[in-house]
């Protein structure tokens, strides 16, 4: 039977396009996992709005031309489903030692452990961000923003389902154990934290949320792109569909920061402020000054760089050789896709200086992906800086040097300024607050985080979006708050 993969089957408890109705064992495993997931969502999901009606999109198809429908739904009733992009006919493994062989439809035994670990790491980030963002609904600057937060949250929940499906379908008993562990770890928990650093940090305010969705979700995008190249076809197809949803998360981040910058510039102009670095004067207007936005950017970019791991990594080389994790846009790269004899320039610390050193391309794959990431990040900066220059201000937001504020890789044991000047511990301690958000900065931002729940109204520190979600008018009631 040639089932229509484009459309999603909603007749089972778990919506899916993987024919779960005829895959009783996996359906049973997923149904067994479902109550624990709902408990987790109720405990760790958005706080205070579980009974509110939220205008959310739900996937009903995996056809890129039209895959979502919008409607009011209470979040615990959201239909989290298992959705894979359509299988590509005769797909081959696009890189590594198995280059050109047919893609695997089952787990290759020799690479089983590595594959499972990569799926678990990806899976762990999804619920982590929901946990990090769970308090933010209460201080949303508008119903529009609140709705976007919840949309991101339910989709991260779905991404967890996506990884759990792979674990339960393809990894038997230990897959089921890993699926349970994904519900047990908690972001920031002392005893059982989430697996990666940035996912144990706090997301204390909405500027952090926008920075997180811009910079950290973009790390997710790069990882998903690399896994979408995987020779293990079910993983590839899963990640390809996740990327469709992920685009909105980064849209929320990019436009969120744009709107903050816009509001700050508008307020400064109205008040006749010429110097954007006159922080006290700008803050008195109830907007976030540009230097503080820059500090937040420093923080989130550097935390996100750490997610790429060590610049030189044999794990990365092994995953590539094995055909498990490829490069960004692997199939569009013009080379032999094996990289046995190639080199790649890596930034390293050599005799106390930051230098480019040619390393074997295979072990430098994390560095390469990180470079692709940085290039991708720059686009937003250009837009934000355009807002600032159009408003007539001589101020530029910029990405800090890779050596700045790092906990992983070549630069973890040194201190550097955002310009990449190496400095000693004492200088770092003395000047840290010039470059990263201080507790006073945090308090100021927190003081602005008063909720605005009137349809069409926005908090003082952020401008209205240019268009509504699903083309809804400006005063649309995106969340019907249940008090
Ligand atoms: Fe995600
Ligand atoms: Fe995301």
For 328-379, how does the pLDDT look when each residue is reduced to its tens digit (9 = 90+)? 999 999 999 999 999 999 999 999 899 999 999 999 999 999 999 999 999 9
At 220-247, the pLDDT tens digits run 999 999 999 999 999 999 999 999 999 9
With bands split at pLDDT 50, 70 and 90, how would you rate the model's confidence at 207? very high
List Cβ neighbours of 62 (8 Å cut-off, separation of 6 or more): 5, 6, 8, 17, 83, 84, 85, 86, 241, 244
User: Is pLDDT at 2 greater than 70 in this prediction?
Assistant: no
Closest-approaching ligand to the CA atom of 213:
2
State the distance from the centre of ligand 1 to the C-alpha of 220, rounded, in angstroms: 7
Per-residue confidence (pLDDT) for residue 5, from 0 to 100: 64
At 380-403, the pLDDT tens digits run 999 999 999 999 999 999 999 999
Are the C-beta atoms of residues 52 and 481 closer than 8 Å to each other?
A: yes
User: Is pLDDT at 6 greater than 50 in this prediction?
Assistant: yes
With bands split at pLDDT 50, 70 and 90, how would you rate the model's confidence at 3? very low
With bands split at pLDDT 50, 70 and 90, how would you rate the model's confidence at 483? low
At 444-468, the pLDDT tens digits run 999 999 999 999 999 999 999 999 9
**Cα 76 from Cα 101, distance rounded (Å):** 43
State the distance from the centre of ligand 2 to the C-alpha of 220, rounded, in angstroms: 7
State the distance from the centre of ligand 1 to the C-alpha of 239, rounded, in angstroms: 10
Element (DSSP H or E) covering residue 33: helix 24-44
Closest-approaching ligand to the CA atom of 151:
2
CA-wise closest residue to 68 among 456, 469, 477: 469
With bands split at pLDDT 50, 70 and 90, how would you rate the model's confidence at 68? confident
- The DSSP code sequence of 1-13 is ----TTB-B-SSS
CA-wise closest residue to 56 among 146, 161, 138: 146
State the distance from the centre of ligand 2 to the C-alpha of 203, rounded, in angstroms: 14
State the distance from the centre of ligand 1 to the C-alpha of 21, rounded, in angstroms: 26
With bands split at pLDDT 50, 70 and 90, how would you rate the model's confidence at 426? very high
State the distance from the centre of ligand 2 to the C-alpha of 156, rounded, in angstroms: 6
**Cα 244 from Cα 338, distance rounded (Å):** 28
State the distance from the centre of ligand 2 to the C-alpha of 129, rounded, in angstroms: 8
State the distance from the centre of ligand 1 to the C-alpha of 195, rounded, in angstroms: 15
State the distance from the centre of ligand 2 to the C-alpha of 225, rounded, in angstroms: 13
Per-residue confidence (pLDDT) for residue 366, from 0 to 100: 98
Supply the mean pLDDT for the chain. 95
State the distance from the centre of ligand 1 to the C-alpha of 123, rounded, in angstroms: 8
User: Is pLDDT at 63 greater than 90 in this prediction?
Assistant: no
Closest-approaching ligand to the CA atom of 227:
1
At 110-146, the pLDDT tens digits run 999 999 999 999 999 999 999 999 999 999 999 999 9
- Residue 323: left (phi > 0), alpha (psi -120 to 50), or beta? left
Could you list which residues have their CB under 5 Å from ion ligand 1? Answer: 126, 156, 159
Per-residue confidence (pLDDT) for residue 76, from 0 to 100: 95
List Cβ neighbours of 132 (8 Å cut-off, separation of 6 or more): 187, 188, 199, 201, 202, 203, 212
Burial zone of 376 (CB within 10 Å; 0-12 exposed, 13-18 middle, 19+ buried): middle
**Cα 312 from Cα 362, distance rounded (Å):** 9
Per-residue confidence (pLDDT) for residue 164, from 0 to 100: 98
State the distance from the centre of ligand 2 to the C-alpha of 417, rounded, in angstroms: 30
In degrees and rounded to multiples of 5, residue 432 shows phi and psi of: -45, -45
With bands split at pLDDT 50, 70 and 90, how would you rate the model's confidence at 1? very low
State the distance from the centre of ligand 2 to the C-alpha of 292, rounded, in angstroms: 25
State the distance from the centre of ligand 2 to the C-alpha of 310, rounded, in angstroms: 23
With bands split at pLDDT 50, 70 and 90, how would you rate the model's confidence at 4? low
Q: What is the share, in percent, of the chain residues with pLDDT greater than 90? A: 94
Q: What is the share, in percent, of the chain residues with pLDDT greater than 70? A: 99
State the distance from the centre of ligand 1 to the C-alpha of 37, rounded, in angstroms: 16
Are the C-beta atoms of residues 137 and 146 closer than 8 Å to each other?
A: yes
Please give the average per-residue pLDDT across 96-113, as a whole number. 97
Give the largest CA-CA distance in the chain.
Answer: 69
Closest-approaching ligand to the CA atom of 247:
2
User: Is pLDDT at 291 greater than 60 in this prediction?
Assistant: yes
CA-wise closest residue to 217 among 171, 172, 152, 271: 152
Closest-approaching ligand to the CA atom of 241:
1
Element (DSSP H or E) covering residue 376: helix 365-390
State the distance from the centre of ligand 2 to the C-alpha of 409, rounded, in angstroms: 24
User: Is pLDDT at 70 greater than 60 in this prediction?
Assistant: yes
Closest-approaching ligand to the CA atom of 157:
1
User: Is pLDDT at 75 greater than 80 in this prediction?
Assistant: yes
User: Is pLDDT at 297 greater than 80 in this prediction?
Assistant: yes
At 148-174, the pLDDT tens digits run 999 999 999 999 999 999 999 999 999
State the distance from the centre of ligand 2 to the C-alpha of 253, rounded, in angstroms: 10
Closest-approaching ligand to the CA atom of 246:
2
Please give the average per-residue pLDDT across 11-22, as a whole number. 88
State the distance from the centre of ligand 1 to the C-alpha of 153, rounded, in angstroms: 9
State the distance from the centre of ligand 1 to the C-alpha of 182, rounded, in angstroms: 14
């Amino acid at each position: 039977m040639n089932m229509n993969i484009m459309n999603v089957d909603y007749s089972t408890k778990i919506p899916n396009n993987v024919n779960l109705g005829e895959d009783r064992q996996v359906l049973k495993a997923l149904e067994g996992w479902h109550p624990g997931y709902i408990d987790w969502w109720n405990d760790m999901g958005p706080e205070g709005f579980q009974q509110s009606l939220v205008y959310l999109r739900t996937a009903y198809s995996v056809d890129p031309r039209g895959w979502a429908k919008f409607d009011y739904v209470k979040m615990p009733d959201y239909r989290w489903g298992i959705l894979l992009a359509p299988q590509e006919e005769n797909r081959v493994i696009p890189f590594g030692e198995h280059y050109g062989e047919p893609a695997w439809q089952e787990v290759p035994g020799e690479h089983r452990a590595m594959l499972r670990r990569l799926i678990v790491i990806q899976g762990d980030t999804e619920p982590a961000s929901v946990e990090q963002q769970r308090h933010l609904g209460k201080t949303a600057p508008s119903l529009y923003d609140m709705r976007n937060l919840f949309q991101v949250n339910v989709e991260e929940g779905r991404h967890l389902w996506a990884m759990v499906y792979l674990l339960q379908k393809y990894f038997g008993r230990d897959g089921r154990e890993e699926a349970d562990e994904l519900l047990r770890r908690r972001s920031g928990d002392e005893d059982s934290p989430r697996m990666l650093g940035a996912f144990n940090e706090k997301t204390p305010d909405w500027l952090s949320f926008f920075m997180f969705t811009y910079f950290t979700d973009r790390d997710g995008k790069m990882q998903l792109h690399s896994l979408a190249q995987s020779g293990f076809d079910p993983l590839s197809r899963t990640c390809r569909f996740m990327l469709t949803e992920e685009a909105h998360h980064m849209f929320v981040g990019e436009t969120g920061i744009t709107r903050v910058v816009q509001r700050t510039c508008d307020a400064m102009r109205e008040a006749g402020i010429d110097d954007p670095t006159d922080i006290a004067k700008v803050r008195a207007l109830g907007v976030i000054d540009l230097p503080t936005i820059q500090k937040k950017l420093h923080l989130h970019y550097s935390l996100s760089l750490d997610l790429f791991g060590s610049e030189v990594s044999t794990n990365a080389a092994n995953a590539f050789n094995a055909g498990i994790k490829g490069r960004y846009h692997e199939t569009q790269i013009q080379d032999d896709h094996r990289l046995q004899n190639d080199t790649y320039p890596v930034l390293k610390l050599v005799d106390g200086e930051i230098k480019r050193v040619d390393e074997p391309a295979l072990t430098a794959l994390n560095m390469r992906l990180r470079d692709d990431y940085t290039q991708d990040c720059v686009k937003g900066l250009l837009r934000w800086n355009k807002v600032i220059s159009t408003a007539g201000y001589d101020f530029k937001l910029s990405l800090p040097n890779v050596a700045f504020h790092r906990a992983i890789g070549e630069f973890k044991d040194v201190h550097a300024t955002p310009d990449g000047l190496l400095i000693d511990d004492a200088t770092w301690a003395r000047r840290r607050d010039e470059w990263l958000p201080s507790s006073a900065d945090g308090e100021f931002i927190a003081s602005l985080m008063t909720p605005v729940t009137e349809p069409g109204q926005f908090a003082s520190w952020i401008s209205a979006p240019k268009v509504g979600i699903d083309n809804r008018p400006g005063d649309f009631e995106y969340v019907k708050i249940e008090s």
